[in-house]
Structure formats: C-alpha cells, structure tokens
Structure 1
Amino acid sequence: MMTKGSLVLYFSIIFSSSAELFLNPFVEEEFILWNKRGDGDVDHFRIPIATWNERGAIVAVSEARKSTSADRSAKFLAVRRMAHSVWSKDAWSPTMFIENDGFASDGVNLGAVLSTTNGTTIVVYGTCMHTCPKTRTFTMTSHDDGLTWGEPVDITEQIGGVYEIFAGGPGYGIQKRHDPHQGRLIFCGWNCTAPFSDDHGKTTGVKCIYSDDEGMRWKSGAWIPGIPYGQEKAAHDFTPSENQLVELSDGSILITTRNDVGYHGPYRVLARSFDAIETIPSNTITIATDLVTPGCAGSLLYVDERDLLLHSNPFNSTQRINMSLSWSTDGGRTWPGHMQVYPGPSGYSTLVRIPGEGNRNRIGLLYETGDNGGTSIEMIAMAVINLNVTGSQSLRKKGTVLRRYF
C-alpha cells in the first residue's frame, strides 16, 4: 500500500449576510480510482470526468492512454460506476472500456458526460483533434447508469462540420432545471478550426451545444471568441478554452473557463448566459482574481438553491500543484473561501454531488494527482469532502491534519 504522506488542510471560513452560510470543510476520505499502468495495463489514465443522478449513481469516465501519456495517442474510454443509493468507496465497479480507437496516432478526446432526468447518461467526445485536417464529434448513450452503452453516434455535421473542433468540457454537461428552456441538455467545450487549416489557432474560444429532444439532435449555441479574433494569440491575449458550466437558481448559466495565456493574470475567466446558452453577453465576461490558476482545466459545482458554488483547480500561478477547493456564497461574484485539498502535483479535476440520503453536504472531487516529486498524471484520485455547511452566525476556525493512505 502506498503512502502519500501527511496532508494539511487550510481553511478559510466565510460569512455571507445574504445567505448566512458558513463552510468549514474537511476531507473525510480519499482513494484511487485509476493508477498508471493499472487496469488493462494502460500506460496512463487522464482527463477525469463524472456525472451523477437522483437514483444514487455516479458514472466516472477517463481517457485510458494505451502506451504513452501524450495527448496524441491511441486510447480507450474507461468507465467506473457507483450505482448504489448508499455511498461507499467499495461500491465502485471495476474498470470497463467502452470505446477503443485501435492504433490511432490521434485517438479519442474527452469530453464531457451528463445525466438526464429520464435516466439517460450521455458522453460527448471527439477523435483526431490534434493532428488531423478533419475531426469528428460523437456521443455515446447509456440507459442503465453506465452499465451498458450504445454505439457511437456521429454529431459532427449537426454542430459545425469536420473542419471545426468541439472538445467538450472536460467535465460534465447539464440538463436545465428551470426556465428558460427547462429540460434542455447543454455541453460547452473548447472550439477552433481543425489542425492544418489557415485559421487554426486563430479562432480559438468556447462554444456550447444543446439539445431539446433528449440528445437525439444537437445544435450550436453561444460562442465566446478569443481576442484578437482571426490572429495568432500571444501572451496575455484573451484565449478561453477548457471549461465547466452550471445552472443557477434563477435559470441562468455560469461558465468557468481556462485562461490559457494569462489574460489579466493567472486567473480563471467567468461568463454568464441568461437564455439557456443561445447567447453569452460580452458584458458578463469577468476575471475571477480570487481563483488563481496555471493553464489547466478546473471544475465548477452548483450545490443547492442557496446559490452556494464550489470551484476546484490547482491553486498556483505557474505550476500544476496545490489542488484546492474554493467557494462562493454570492453566485460566483466573489470567491473568498479556499481549502487546500493536496499540496503536491495536481491537474485536471471534476466536482460531483454524492447522491443519497444524508449526503447533502458531501461532495466528491475527482482529480489527477501524483506523489510529491512526481507528476500530476500518475493517478486519478477521489477526495470525499464534507462541506460542513451551517447557518450559524458565529465564525469558527478549524484546522485538520489528515494522513492519506492509498
């Protein structure tokens, strides 16, 4: 059994006069879902994404990179599922591989996953997105919480064509709970023209797609273009890319996006849509200076109708280290609360709700990590965090030392 050593959690307790919420979170447990050269003798597992539903299921998906850790490589799509209404780390299924790109030099690319109210799980992913003049986007669907999957469905022509990249997430999509367009399915992702085109790298930005018929057909929605548009990007230009979206209690959509070349500094970029992702007004795009980050994917989670929001990312301006949980009690306008989950190597992450009775204040953080002195892509771990949310009007401070054993 491998020891990752002691982990000191640092807490910042905040009070919101409007929501009267206090967070005093702590990590209850942590375990590995995937390890390099583990299941199937896969070289590396990367890009952890996950979704959950009211029936008590969590479905986690990752890229199983067969022989190298590189983005441009042959891959499987790996799935593990927790399909019990009572949470237990021992309830996770063994890994199964649901897509196999053979010996492709530029294989499958995750991607995002969502769960619908009718019990459907949908994964969106692409192929040949790094080195090919044409790319394709697919969906795969499960009707039994990720136990079995249908054949891939090519949606490329529905959302822009083979000369346009749509790289969903990475993270999860949503089904809208509120008007406008209640029930709409939405994914957002990184978008640009395909490799080897004259405009590749000049049109990068964030694009959203949506379906109003349970995923049968998809349409292109709002787009956040990089600036300057149509030109190669330089340091500190506006270059939004990998992203995560949530729906707030008023029906609006909030997006957090990677800020690739440090526009206005090493911070996350936030944007908002009020019409179910058909438009994203430019005056809603802001720099979240409370969310310090290197160039890396992050995650966003809507907790409940109190508009409590959580954000995860490596909290460092230059390195992928210091995986942290941040929170906002004012709908994402400010992020004064921060908790260090792990100080060492840390990469991509996805936040998930833990379904089931008694889990209202418990969330899961699925993230790439490694031992101190190693890299951030040695394993994919899941931290179970108790948010310890209260409405008390007395400020409390708490520090916890947790020794993690894998």
Structure 2
Amino acid sequence: MIKFVFGLFLWCGLYGCNSSCPTISLRMDKQVAPVFIRQEENSVLHIQVDNTTDKELVLNKLVLSAKGTSRIEAVKQIRIYFTGLNPNFSSTVLFGHTQDAREVNTFKGQQALKPGINHFWVSVCLSENALLSDKIHFTCTDATLSDACVVVADSLPVLSSAVGYAVRLRGDDQVNAYRIPGLVCTPKGTLIAVYDVRYNSAVDLQENIDVGVSRSVDGGQTWLPMQIAMDMGEWGGRSHKENGIGDPAILVDPQTGRVWIAGLWLHGNPGKRAWWASKPGITPEETGQFVLAYSDDDGATWSEPINITSQVKKKEWYLCFQGPGMGITTQEGTLVFPAQFKDKNQVPYSTIIYSKDKGKTWNIGTGARSNTTEAQVVELTDGSLMLNMRDDRGGSRAVMITKDFGKTWTEHVSSRSALPEPVCQASLIRIHLKGGKPALAFFNPANTQGRVHSTLKISLDEGVTWPEKYHTLVYEPGSYGYSCLTQIDSTTLGVLYEGAGELYFQRLNIGE
C-alpha cells in the first residue's frame, strides 16, 4: 500500500475564520493495481477525511487533479464513493461522478462526516481507446466543508496506476469463473492464453470445466473472442459435469510453430475433487487422464484430444498430470512440460514429462522432491533443466536441477530460501535482455501469509539470487494467485494472472 499523509493548512472562506471552524486532516493512499480495460470499477485513490470533532460535519466538495495522466481521453468516467467509517471499497454510496474526465475534476455533494476517519474512494472506468502504455494519475487537491472551511494540501504527490486488460471477467459468456492461466507468445507474435472455463462455480475438478483459449495479435491491447480448445463432452455416457478437463499448461515449439496444450481430464466422480477422487489405474474409469491437444495455425483451431496417460503414468500412482502454466522447448528441440504425480502412497512429487520426437511419444522423469506439486521448468545456459516447485511445507519455493531429463535431481542453492510463497502456483521463464544477456523472470504472490503482493522478480545469475532492486510489485490485492509470464519482445514481458475468478493481462517493461 502506497500511503501519503499531507501537511495541511486550513483556509477559511469569504467571511473569515472563527474559533468554531474545525481542523480537518486528509490522507490518501492506494493499492498497487492496474486500471483494467473492460472493468467497470477500478479504484485509483483512497481518501481519508478525519473528523476529529464530536459532531457530524458536512463535506460538499472534492477536487481531483489528473495532472500527469498520459492521455486524459483514456478515462471515460470518474466516480467517487463514500463508505463511511468502513475502510473497504464499496460502490454502494455515490458522492459524485463525471462522464467527462478533465485535468481538474470537481465533485459536489452533501456528505455527512461522522466523528472519526471517513473514507472516500475514487474509481475510474476506461474508454475504448485506452492503451496498455497509458498511465493514470489522480490526487485530491481540495476538500470543502459546508461552513466554507477548506482543506488544502501543502504538497500534491502523484499516485500512478498502470493500465491492464481484463481478458476474462466473471459472467463473460455466462461463465461463473475463470482460473489457472497459461500464456505463450508464438514465433508470429501471437499471444495465446489458456485457462479453466468453470461454468458453474470456481471450484476445481470434478465439475463442468473446459479449457478455454483467448488470442491477441497486437501484443495484448485487444483480445479475440474466447474459443474452447479442450472439451470432453459427454464421453462414456456421462454429462459434461462428469467429464471436466482443466488445469492447462501451454507450450510453443518455435522450430515448428506448433502449440501444445496439456490438460487433466476426470471422468465420473461428480462433486468430488480430482485430487482425492483419482485412484490407481490407467483407464478413465479409474484415474485422472493426461490429455494433449495441438494447433498448427497459431491457436485458431485445435486438434482432437490425445490421451498419453499410458505413456507417462505408472499404474500404481493415484494421479499424474501437468504443471499448470507453461512448458518449454529446449535448444535442442525437446518438448518439456512440468508435471506432478501422487505415488502409490499418495505422496505428491513434482517432475517433468518430455518428448524428443516432437510429441509423437512422451516420457516422464522421477519425482524431484516429495510434497511438491505445481511446478515450472526452464533451461539454464549449460543445458540443464531447473524445476521450480510449489512446496506443501510452505514458506518458500523448492528448486531442483536435472541434467538427464529427470532421471536424477540435485537441489539448487536457492531452494527453500530465495523465493517466499504462501503455497501457491508461480511462473518462471527464461528471458533474453538487450545484447543477448540471459536472465530469469519469476512471478508469484510474494508473501508467506497469503496470496497477496503478486511480484515480478529478475535474476541475472541463473536463479542463484533475486536482488530486491529487481523486484516490481504488480498487483497488491488478495487474489487466487496463479500466473503465467511470457516474453513479447526484447523489452517487454506479458503476464496473465488471477484476480478472484477473473484473468488479467499486463505488459511489463523489463527496463523499468
């Protein structure tokens, strides 16, 4: 939370000051979060007016400055809401609004202020011509009481918000929730996002869930209508709700242009969570299925499902499936997906699956570390693979290295210390900086207590250290916490991350 407490002075109106004129303090803060295209309400400023008297006062004017906003025409509407003594945002009580955003915006009303700290929230809605490169700046410059006493700030700090894109909002296409993001940038520059389409509720498999796809051909500025890439229909005589498929991971092969999606399909077991419903065996009636689909036209169309369960799962295991997030293609052309399995004792392990023949056949590695699940994989400069894992012990990410595609593993020096987490999925990718210098980028809720403070971190030494000077807080509020990074060009990363049942996209400048 960015907070500013101003030195204030009280200016009395036309009829002069008197001893009854109260002294009012005004504070402002904001959470670090973008303003999202397609989202109706975007909080950009929190104003706190402290009524230190023992009686109600009336505030009848607030003035907001948008000076520093890159393009004021990007803002379609500004609203100010009053939440009384409740410090949480709500759009119930409207103090004032404008449909015509300007550099200076005046809002008039008659709002009673009870003794104590009274809360106002500034919310904006962006216009259709808003750009992801825009910056939105707002600060409060004036607050007027009905008795003509005016609160004026000595200094006017600018509170800035980036612009993002709400790729999927709850209710889009009559869907209850969208979860589990994956993201790649193809050799043609197309961004392909995959995710769970959770029709009925936000809960995990088993439910009526398909794997959806959204595509952008302009770097994330706009997104084409949603497609369904993986849908098991009414297989085996059971309903869609008993043939859910989800938790996708996506992989692009730059050598062929083919894009792969991996998904977990669960057959039967209505209302039971896949993690516990899946049993030993190989068939759909027994256990969760490891399923692939591919596209040869930059994600415009997708193949029929390809079931590789018998290739990668041991019969005695309870479950075997992908990442989720994204996979990689190594320099030598091997396709690699992060994966996980529950062994015969129901102990989970992170691992990888890989194909050395462009997806015709698949193999699986051994478990990298017990009690680890959702992982991401990158290739290091020496050709070894780094597996960065969600660790059920909590506290920090586990990191292991393999030089033989998962036959053997060694612990990395950063494991269980360098990357704090609240037990959650995360994103890790290799990026290429200007001049060809290699680096790693990591994104997760960087907090051990909860899924808050989603943060981008950069490492210039193969993940040994993640210096604080290369940390960027991207999304401060609480969320479901999952994310996926991709590199768009030499200066820009893209990240797709979860809100609460919604999916947000943001461009991040590597230099910044």
Q: Answer whether TM exceeds 0.5 for this pair.
A: yes
Q: Which AA in structure 2 matches 1:331?
A: E
Alpha-carbon separation, structure 2, partners of 1:280 and 1:98: 34
**Contact 2:351 / 2:406 at 8 angstroms: preserved in 1?**
no
Residue 305 of structure 2 is aligned to residue 152 of structure 1: yes
Corresponding residue SS for 1:157: helix
Deviation at 1:161, TM superposition (A): 4.5
Alpha-carbon separation, structure 2, partners of 1:223 and 1:75: 28
Q: Which residue is 1:187 aligned to?
A: 337
Q: Which AA in structure 2 matches 1:51?
A: V
Q: Which residue is 1:298 aligned to?
A: 426
Deviation at 1:221, TM superposition (A): 2.2
Matches within 5 A, 1:4-403: 4-6=42-44, 29-39=163-173, 41-72=174-205, 73-82=207-216, 84=217, 86-90=218-222, 92-102=223-233, 103-105=240-242, 107-116=244-253, 117-128=255-266, 129-130=274-275, 131-133=277-279, 134-161=287-314, 164=317, 165-177=319-331, 182-193=332-343, 199-200=345-346, 203-226=347-370, 239-262=371-394, 266-275=395-404, 277-284=405-412, 286-304=414-432, 305-336=436-467, 337-346=470-479, 347-354=481-488, 359-369=489-499, 377-388=500-511
**Contact 1:166 / 1:207 at 8 angstroms: preserved in 2?**
no
Q: Which AA in structure 2 matches 1:166?
A: C
Q: Which AA in structure 1 matches 2:164?
A: E
**Contact 1:28 / 1:386 at 8 angstroms: preserved in 2?**
no
Structure 1 ranges of 4+ moved more than 6 A: none
Q: Which residue is 2:88 aligned to?
A: none
Instruction: Identify unmatched segments of 5+ residues in structure 1.
Output: 9-25, 227-238, 370-376, 390-406
Compared CA separation, residues 27 and 388, structure 1 to 2 (3 A): farther
Q: TM-score, normalised by structure 2?
A: 0.61
Compared CA separation, residues 113 and 162, structure 1 to 2 (3 A): farther
Corresponding residue SS for 2:438: coil
Q: Which AA in structure 2 matches 1:267?
A: S
Alpha-carbon separation, structure 2, partners of 1:334 and 1:156: 37
Alpha-carbon separation, structure 2, partners of 1:71 and 1:172: 19
Q: Which AA in structure 2 matches 1:172?
A: M
Compared CA separation, residues 162 and 61, structure 1 to 2 (3 A): farther
Residue deviations 1:97-141 (CA, integer Å, cap 9, x gap) = 122244334621323111112011111111123313312111101
Residue deviations 1:71-122 (CA, integer Å, cap 9, x gap) = 031111110112x3x53512x2110112224433462132311111201111
Residue deviations 1:216-245 (CA, integer Å, cap 9, x gap) = 11111242141xxxxxxxxxxxx2110101
Q: TM-score, normalised by structure 1?
A: 0.77
**Contact 1:7 / 1:342 at 8 angstroms: preserved in 2?**
no
Q: Which AA in structure 1 matches 2:387?
A: I
Corresponding residue SS for 2:310: helix
**Contact 2:290 / 2:322 at 8 angstroms: preserved in 1?**
no
Compared CA separation, residues 47 and 104, structure 1 to 2 (3 A): same
Q: Percent of pairs identical after alignment?
A: 27
Q: Which residue is 1:3 aligned to?
A: 41
Residue deviations 1:359-406 (CA, integer Å, cap 9, x gap) = 31100111001xxxxxxx2310011100117xxxxxxxxxxxxxxxxx
Corresponding residue SS for 1:61: strand
Alpha-carbon separation, structure 1, partners of 2:441 and 2:411: 23
**Contact 1:113 / 1:171 at 8 angstroms: preserved in 2?**
yes
Compared CA separation, residues 326 and 88, structure 1 to 2 (3 A): closer
**Contact 1:271 / 1:286 at 8 angstroms: preserved in 2?**
no
Residue deviations 1:4-47 (CA, integer Å, cap 9, x gap) = 32389xxxxxxxxxxxxxxxxx98631111111212x1111000
Compared CA separation, residues 286 and 279, structure 1 to 2 (3 A): farther
Give the total of aligned pairs: 331
Alpha-carbon separation, structure 2, partners of 1:208 and 1:46: 22
Alpha-carbon separation, structure 1, partners of 2:453 and 2:243: 30
Larger Rg: 2
Corresponding residue SS for 1:279: coil
Q: Which residue is 2:105 aligned to?
A: none
